[in-house]
């Protein structure tokens, strides 16, 4: 039975891997010979296939969670599925849903190749650079913190000037932090369900292993900071929370709870870690919901709160909200995929598919609480 399930999972991931290459930019000169125009000329079929892939991915997710809860899926099985998932999606086309990985490469190139300040000089100013043909944010200076810019030097310099090697170096670089984040979550929780909830979450898999977003790097350092607080290594914890903030500034929202826990650690008073992680999740959800002030809500922003929410799986509202947001945010790509425009009904549809699943979860808990209160009150 397990071998059949593994075969189906590998077959599904291979199909998803192939599907990702249907989104190649026509100007992506490095592998332009496999450009098929499929995602542009057959938008309806592309959208249907994408929706099917998302539903199947969540079906695998829920099934594995159920098997893990029933002890039919153990740590050895988990390692196998994790290795298969990473090995296959590492080679997926990273710009299927977002062009951020090209922006990371271009920003790194400004600093390490052109030796210019990426906070002042935009990639578009290097008019003959081939990256400009398919970049979608060449007219912007660096959007992220200095620690991230410095870290990008590792995959960029190890690319030795070869763009494809550099591109997949960035993906491998992100994979390392994905594995690191999983390891920290396990060290903190020692809870197999928590491990499965995060590591095999479809949004985490797609936005990290496929899209290569740097949010996982930011969260790795934030979680490491909290882990060090658990181990009473306050000075190191402070260093790593600062590193997290200087990668992407969203973890500034964690500072109130981080400072509070640090003070409790110094005073050697008891800390309720479930409450710490619950409040951390809430603070990062607030940061997530406020992101439209700067631009808009992007699906990968859910990585800000998912690990904290999954560290307290007993908090059912946070748990179901996190999973529903994971689902809704992946559907957020559908309007543009189908219509090919960011205007018209696209913004409204994106809002609806993002929040309807989460609103449904909140209504469910609200109705259940009222029914419980009604049934309970009859005894008094």
Query: In the chain, what are the domain boundaries?
Result: 2-377
* C-alpha dihedral, 60 to 61 to 63 to 69, nearest 10°: 150
Q: Which two tokens stand for residue 264?
A: 């409790």
Distance CA(167)–CA(190), nearest Å, equals 34
Identify which of 138, 148, 128, 133 has the alpha carbon closest to the alpha carbon of residue 103.
138
DSSP E strands, the chain: none
Distance CA(261)–CA(308), nearest Å, equals 15
| pLDDT at residue 36, rounded to an integer | 78
| pLDDT at residue 375, rounded to an integer | 54
Q: What share of the chain is helix, strand, coil (3-state, %, to 5)?
A: 75, 0, 25
Provide the CB-side half-sphere exposure for 104 (13 A, CA).
Answer: 32
Q: Where are the alpha helices (DSSP H) in 128-254?
A: 146-151, 153-157, 163-189, 192-199, 202-204, 215-230, 234-245
Q: Are 334 and 347 in contact (CB under 8 A)?
A: no
End-to-end CA distance of the chain: 52
| pLDDT at residue 139, rounded to an integer | 87
Rg (CA), the chain: 22
Q: Which two tokens stand for residue 214?
A: 């740097």
pLDDT per residue rounded down to tens, the chain (380 residues): 678 888 999 999 999 999 999 998 877 777 777 777 888 889 999 999 999 999 999 999 999 999 998 888 889 999 999 999 999 999 999 989 999 999 999 999 999 999 999 999 999 999 888 888 878 778 889 989 999 999 999 999 999 989 889 999 999 999 999 999 999 999 999 999 999 999 999 999 999 999 999 999 999 999 999 999 999 999 999 999 999 999 999 999 999 999 999 999 999 899 999 999 999 999 999 999 999 988 889 999 999 999 999 999 999 999 999 999 999 999 999 999 999 999 999 999 999 999 999 999 888 887 876 655 555 444 44
Q: Are 157 and 141 in contact (CB under 8 A)?
A: no
Reported as type and span, the H/E element at residue 212 is none
Name every residue whose Cβ is closer than 8 Å to that of residue 215 and which is 6 or more positions away in sequence.
207, 208, 248, 250, 300, 301, 303, 304
Cα→Cα distances 98→94, 300, 355, 371, Å: 7, 10, 21, 43
Q: Are 284 and 300 in contact (CB under 8 A)?
A: no
Helices first, then strands: H and E counts in the chain = 18, 0
| pLDDT at residue 367, rounded to an integer | 81
Q: Residue 336, Cβ neighbours under 10 Å: how many? A: 18
Distance CA(263)–CA(126), nearest Å, equals 49
Q: Are 144 and 125 in contact (CB under 8 A)?
A: no
Distance CA(55)–CA(61), nearest Å, equals 10
The pTM score is 0.94
| pLDDT at residue 81, rounded to an integer | 94
Q: In 109-129, which positions are buried (b, 16+ CB within 10 angstroms) versus exposed (e)?
A: bbbbeeebebeebbbeebeeb
């Amino acid at each position: 039975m397990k071998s059949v399930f593994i075969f189906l999972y590998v077959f599904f991931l291979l199909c998803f891997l192939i599907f990702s290459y249907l989104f190649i930019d026509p100007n992506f000169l490095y592998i332009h010979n496999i450009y098929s125009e499929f995602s542009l000329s057959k938008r309806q079929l592309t959208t249907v296939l994408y929706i099917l892939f998302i539903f199947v991915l969540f079906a695998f997710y829920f099934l594995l969670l159920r098997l893990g809860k029933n002890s039919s899926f153990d740590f050895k099985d988990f390692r196998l599925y994790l290795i298969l998932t990473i090995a296959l999606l590492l080679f997926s086309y990273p710009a299927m849903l977002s062009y951020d990985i090209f922006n990371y490469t271009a920003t790194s190139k400004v600093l390490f190749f052109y030796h210019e300040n990426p906070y002042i000089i935009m990639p578009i100013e290097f008019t003959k650079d081939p990256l400009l043909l398919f970049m979608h944010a060449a007219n912007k200076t660096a959007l992220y913190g200095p620690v991230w810019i410095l870290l990008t030097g590792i995959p960029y310099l190890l690319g030795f000037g070869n763009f494809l090697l550099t591109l997949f170096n960035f993906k491998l670089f992100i994979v390392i932090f994905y594995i690191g984040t999983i390891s920290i979550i396990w060290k903190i929780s020692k809870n197999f369900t928590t491990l499965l909830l995060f590591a095999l979450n479809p949004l985490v898999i797609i936005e990290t292993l496929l899209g290569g977003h740097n949010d996982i790097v930011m969260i790795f350092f934030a979680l490491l900071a909290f882990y060090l607080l658990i181990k009473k290594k306050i000075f190191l914890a402070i260093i790593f929370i600062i590193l997290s903030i200087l990668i992407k500034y969203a973890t500034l929202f964690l500072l109130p709870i981080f400072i509070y826990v640090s003070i409790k650690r110094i005073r050697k008073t008891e800390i309720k870690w479930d409450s710490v992680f619950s409040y951390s999740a809430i603070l990062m959800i607030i940061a997530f919901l406020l992101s439209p002030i700067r631009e808009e809500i992007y699906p990968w922003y859910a990585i800000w709160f998912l690990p904290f929410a999954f560290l307290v799986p007993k908090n059912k509202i946070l748990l179901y909200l996190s999973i529903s947001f994971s689902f809704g945010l992946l559907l957020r790509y559908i309007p543009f995929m189908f219509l090919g425009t960011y205007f018209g009904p696209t913004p409204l549809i994106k809002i609806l598919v993002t929040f309807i699943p989460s609103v449904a979860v909140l209504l469910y808990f609200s109705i259940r609480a009222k029914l419980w209160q009604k049934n309970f009150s009859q005894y008094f």
